[in-house]
Amino acid sequence: MEFALNEEQRMFLNMFRDFAVKEIAPRAEDMDHEETLPPDMLQKAANQGFLGATLPETYFGAELDGVSYAMLIETLAGASMSVAVTIAAHVSLVAMSILEHGTEAHKEEWLMPMAAGEVLGGFALTEPDAGSDVMALQTRATLEGEEVVLDGVKTWVTNGGIAGLFLVFARGPEGVEAFLVPRDTPGLTVGYREPTLGLRSATFHTVYLEGCRVKLANRLGEAGGGSVVAQRAMDRMAVALAAAGLGVAADAVEVAAQFATER
């Protein structure tokens, strides 16, 4: 089996490293102290194709293969884990869920703006009394004609502070379901920012859903198919987080080796 990178992957890796060194590393410490991700940095990442990394070119995506995407997240994490997690959540948890489970209308409405950095995705699964156990969710989805009313509380919503679109999981008449909920939907309130030991410039928030009304057409996937959407998303994110962890570890070794030889 051949494990060497091909020419295109080597080109991508050089591009990723160049971005991490020039755009992220010089600002990483300030971002950590200020606990914020500058919008211009995310826009630059979008301009490089990172926010649509694995999306098809049809939706302005970069259409990276799996290895190249893992290298992207690994390289970004070496400069800032917060940047890597923000982008990975946007791509792996939300954008790819729309690509895999969404209708053509969903894809046309959301994927191009997401790839362009105009809309960031937030992932609203975890709850105070359920954790991330999909089968224990208490948020309710009540069907009223061609609309669904969402009621519940989500915690540790990844990208909660900056997302323009939330992927929300709730329990409906036929089981757990997934819904696309724009940030400005009445009844959706972004609340408390969760404190973190690391990932200081990534945002994790509590999100309140109180009579939050969306169209039934906003449902992602089949009726009662939300658990499949969630599991597929978390499987993708697990790979991305593994790559990010490798990036942090590799950078730590490099910093330690440099210190050991210069002290």
| pLDDT tens string 82-100 | 999 999 999 999 999 999 9
Give how far Cα 163 sits from Cα of 89, 118, 224, Å.
11, 10, 25
Q: Which whole number is the average pLDDT over 235-260?
A: 96
Identify whether 134 is part of a domain.
yes
For 187: left if phi > 0, alpha if psi spans -120 to 50, otherwise beta; the answer is left
Question: How many residues belong to the chain?
Answer: 263
Q: What is the pLDDT of residue 160?
A: 98
Residue 263 has pLDDT above 80, yes or no: no
pLDDT level of residue 15 (50, 70, 90 thresholds): very high
With tokens 């939907």, the residue in question is: 185
Residue 239: Cβ-neighbour burial (10 angstroms; 0-12, 13-18, 19+): middle
Q: Give the chain's mean pLDDT.
A: 96
Is 177 found in the same domain as 127?
yes
Between CA 66 and CA 90 the distance in angstroms is 16
Between CA 190 and CA 98 the distance in angstroms is 22
pLDDT level of residue 147 (50, 70, 90 thresholds): very high
pLDDT level of residue 159 (50, 70, 90 thresholds): very high
Give the total number of structural domains in the chain.
2
pLDDT in tens, 164-202: 999 999 999 999 999 999 999 999 999 999 999 899 999
pLDDT level of residue 1 (50, 70, 90 thresholds): low
Q: Around Cβ 138, how many Cβ atoms within 10 Å?
A: 13
Is 113 found in the same domain as 12?
yes
pLDDT in tens, 49-77: 999 999 999 999 999 999 999 999 999 99
Identify whether 1 is part of a domain.
no
Q: Which whole number is the average pLDDT over 11-33?
A: 97
Provide the CATH number for the domain around residue 184. Answer: 2.40.110.10
Q: Which whole number is the average pLDDT over 2-10?
A: 91
pLDDT level of residue 162 (50, 70, 90 thresholds): very high
Q: Which domain holds residue 46?
A: 7-118+231-262
User: Phi and psi (nearest 5°) for 4?
Assistant: -65, 145
Is 73 found in the same domain as 145?
no
Beta strands in 100-164 (DSSP E): 121-124, 140-144, 147-158
Tell me the whole-structure pTM to 2 decimals: 0.95
Q: Are 247 and 84 in contact (CB under 8 A)?
A: yes
Sign for the CA dihedral angle at 143, 148, 150, 151 comes to negative
Provide the CATH number for the domain around residue 24. Answer: 1.10.540.10
Residue 2 has pLDDT above 80, yes or no: no
Identify whether 226 is part of a domain.
no
Q: Which two tokens stand for residue 13?
A: 């890796």
Is 60 found in the same domain as 84?
yes
Identify whether 2 is part of a domain.
no
